Structure 1
Amino acid sequence: MSFKSFLCVMCLSVLLVGCEQPDIASPTVSVLTEAPTDDFEKVTPDRTLHFPVDHGEHPKFKTEWWYLTANLETDQGERYGVQWTQFRIATGSEDIKGWGTPQIYMAHVVISDSNGMQHAERFSRGGIGQAGVQTSPYRIWLDNWSWQSTSEGPFPGQLSFEDNGMAGELTVLNKGEIVLHGDAGYSKKHPAEDRASYYYSAPFLQLQGKLTLNGKTVNVQGEGWYDREWSSSMLSTEQQGWDWFSIHLDDGSALMAAQIRSDDKKAYSFGSRSWPDGRVTTLSSDEIYLTPISYSTIDGKVLPLKWRIDIPSQDIKLSIGAERKQQWLPFSFPYWEGQIIAKGSHNGRGFMELTGY
């Protein structure tokens, strides 16, 4: 929702910490539904986000991610989608160096075009130099996958990765202001319970560089979206996944709309509409209507890949369709994520993430 998918957070616990997977209805929220203990800091509405420090990591909170999606094109009009995400999960709050550190990292990379996609997943325990985050100058890395900048923040940045014939070298420029979601970055995730995260985005990115997919290297350029989020207890036990949309609209604004589904209750929605000059309109749950229109079976999962987004307060009525349906990502805990096309009151392109199905 990237807000970024936490289907994979349990994978870090299971594979690197050695604990057994809990027997719960959905692995999507298995870590996020645990109530905060004294080991971790709580998300509270009175905290003010500060930059560049909040571009870095927050090891006193249990979970965190850095997330980029991009809709790119060649000079010939060939379209490519890129997703890069790095996750951090803490198994405790102790400040221990080396192999004893409680900080664990996972990273995902996906490149897709009209013919298919390639994806890769990596893991590392922190504290041994294999993965980490620093802010002066800014750098986040896992093995040879890295995002680095000469400044104290991520922009302008250089994203580099290579894995089994798939590679990217992309320069990332921020052409707008940082967007603080919810109440100045305090993003509620439940209508009644004290569940929330700190959440901000950079929706107005310009990217250019090279991609390699299936042995073919191309020059690309286009738009991107960057999300940052961290928490210690985000979701209620009744919440079983989410549907998240980020869209660059043809009037120059950017729309983020998401809903967290519950087993037997109305989904809780949240979102924002923003502009490069720093204007932001926060959208409440009763302003956003996300309606699945049709479903497709992908890798045995029945997924809503066509949607209607209605936001009457913004005069927005959109029909949403997946550019490529076969975007089920078979990571340790799988999810669907891919490019979308928006038509209706506005036209646009973006990304959709579906978890918990």
Structure 2
Amino acid sequence: MKKNFKVLMLIVVAICVGTGASVLWLCWQHVSQPKLTSLNEFDSILSANSQSVFEPVLPDSPVILPEDFRFHQDFQQEWWHFFANVTDERGREYGIQWSYLRVAREEAAQRGWLNPQLFISYISIGSRENSVHEQRIARGGVGQAGMENRPFRIWLDNWNWRSLGKTPFPGQLRASSDKFAIDMLVNPVGPFVLPGEQGYVVKDDMLPIASYNFSAPFLNVNGKMMLDDGDQVTVRGHGWLSKEWGTGLLASQHQGWDWLVIPLDETSTLSVHRYRRESRQPYLSGYIATNDGKYWALDDSQLTLEPLLHSTLENGHSVPLEWELRVPRFGVNVRVRPINTNQWLPFVVPYWQGAIETIGSHNSQGFMQLYGY
């Protein structure tokens, strides 16, 4: 038995080395560490730690743009999200998602392969009929991934977001693999939003957990896209870009989150977060923003988000994919459902993420992210 285990370990390590030394650490974690039964192996990195050597998230430090487009190496996590709902020349609808996550286990002062930063990027593209998704992972300090802001550029291998200035816009997202290729031009048609208290976003009313955040919720998107069938299409639509950073993106009592982004019309957008908690009701927060700079914060006294239907996916995960969302003050009363249910991302940080549509007071398309199921 021991001999067979040693042989298995050698095979796995050989595969890891063959795919690049940057993922060797992750491979070793998966073969040498026990699987967690609640969430995934990265919960300890996403969760707050009272003994952390990183900077805490404090309410007296507002987000300042354009300075905070940079990487924040003194914080443990940093997460970029880009969502787009686009349509091709034939009227076919697609959802595009790009995520870029930087995490660290300790301070990032070391250089080269000793740098403890880890970079993870996801691309997911879905239509009503099919979907593709892929993950890239890199170790920090060796040039395989990183960020520059003169001019602005975020990259991991040949996946990159770049612009000609110090901000992400006007921006270009280019990424390709054996499964897909996308080349999107992204232009803002409205202001940035600093949710919460000037970008300081509280995630629980009884726990000291928060993060810094900004969003660009009003984006025009156009470009070209090719899926694994080899059919290149020209697409255009609307998008959303946000960035969150901090030291602990979840409290230890949090079970996960549900996040919905819904453009209500051409001038306003709604964002809702629902943090699920052990032995307590979920913590709800959100906001409505308009492209002329108006902003309204929302809490659980002003909005309701309830799951209507759990779906069991092919991998056995039970995920609430249909919801009822109400914001009475703004006349919002909609049923939310996915455009394609097959949008589970089985990656290092696994979650369901994909395009959604709303039916009711507002008929629209947006995005949903469900983590911790």
Q: Deviations over 1:58-85 (max 9, x none)?
A: 1110011111011000122111111111
**Deviation >3 Å, runs of 4+:** 16-24
Normalised by the size of structure 2, how large is the TM-score? 0.88
- Select the residue among 171, 191, 194 that pairs with 1:180: 194
Q: Residue 253 and residue 181 in structure 1: after superposition, are their counterparts in 2 closer, same or farther (change >3 A)? A: same
Deviation of 1:23 (Å) = 4.4
The structure carrying a bigger helix percent of its residues is: 2
Match of 1:330 among 332, 346, 365: 346
Contact 1:271 1:284 in 2 (8 A): yes
Q: CA RMSD in A?
A: 2.0
Cα offset for 1:52?
1.6
1:244-268: CA deviation from partner (whole Å, max 9, x where unpaired): 1001112521000110111221000
Question: How many percent of aligned residue pairs carry the same amino acid?
Answer: 37
Greater mean deviation of Cα atoms: 56-65 or 232-241: 232-241
1:25 has 2:38 as partner: yes
- Counterpart CA distance in 2 for 1:163 and 1:126 is 21
1:250 has 2:265 as partner: yes
Give the Å deviation of 1:272. 0.7
Distance 1:277 1:13, change over 3 A: farther
Separation of aligned partners in 2, 1:88 and 1:156:
23
Residue aligning to 2:217: 203
Q: Which residue of 1 aligns with 2:177?
A: 163
Is the contact between residue 70 and residue 83 of structure 1 (CA under 8 Å) also seen in structure 2? Answer: yes
Per-residue CA deviation, residues 10-39 of structure 1 (Å, 9 max, x unaligned), is xx8961795846846323743232324351
Equivalent position amino acid for 2:154 in 1:
I
What is the rounded CA distance, in whole Å, between the counterparts of 2:25 and 2:284 in structure 1?
30
In structure 2, what is the Cα distance between the partners aligned to 1:166 and 1:253? Answer: 32
**Count of aligned pairs:** 347
Secondary structure at the residue paired with 1:93?
coil
User: Out of 298, 301, 322, which is 1:283 matched to?
Assistant: 298
The residue aligned with 2:10 is: none
Which amino acid in 1 is paired with 2:26? Answer: L
Which region of structure 1 is more displaced relative to structure 2, 107-116 or 324-333?
A: 324-333
Decide whether the 8 Å contact of 1:53 with 1:135 is kept in 2: no
Question: What is the CA–CA distance in structure 1 between the aligned matches of 2:137 and 2:148, rounded to whole Å?
Answer: 18
Q: Kindly indicate whether residue 256 of structure 2 is the aligned counterpart of residue 241 of structure 1.
A: yes
Is residue 190–residue 235 contact of structure 1 (8 Å, CA) maintained in 2?
no
Q: SS at the partner of 1:271?
A: strand
Amino acid at match of 1:133: M
2: CA distance, partners of 1:333 / 1:233: 15
Matched to 1:325, the amino acid is T
Query: Which SS does the other structure have where 2:185 is aligned?
Result: strand
2:99 aligned with 1:85, yes or no? yes
Counterpart of 1:291, as a letter, is E
Gaps in structure 1 of 5+ consecutive residues: 1-11
- SS of the residue corresponding to residue 179 of structure 1 reads coil
1:110-149 aligned at under 5 Å gives the runs 110-149=124-163
Give the match's secondary structure for 1:295: strand
Counterpart of 2:20 in structure 1 is none
1:270 maps to what in 2? 285
Change (3 A) 1:23 1:115: closer
- Aligned equivalents of 1:189 and 1:266: distance in 2? 13
Classify the secondary structure of the residue corresponding to 1:257.
strand
Residues 34, 48 of structure 1: alpha-carbon distance in 2 compared, 3 angstrom cutoff: closer
Report what 2:72 is aligned to: 58
Distance 1:252 1:192 in 2: 34
Q: Please state if 1:15 is matched with 2:26.
A: yes
| Structure 1 residues 200 and 174, CA gap change in structure 2 (3 angstroms) | same
CA contact (8 A) 2:89 2:233 kept: no
In the aligned structure 1, how far is the partner of 2:51 from the partner of 2:70?
23
TM-score (norm 1): 0.92
| 2:242 is aligned with 1:231 | no
**Equivalents in 1 of 2:58, 2:307: separation in Å?**
33
SS at the partner of 2:45? coil
CA distance in 2, matches of 1:225, 1:48: 21
Question: What SS does structure 2 have at the residue aligned with 1:15?
Answer: helix
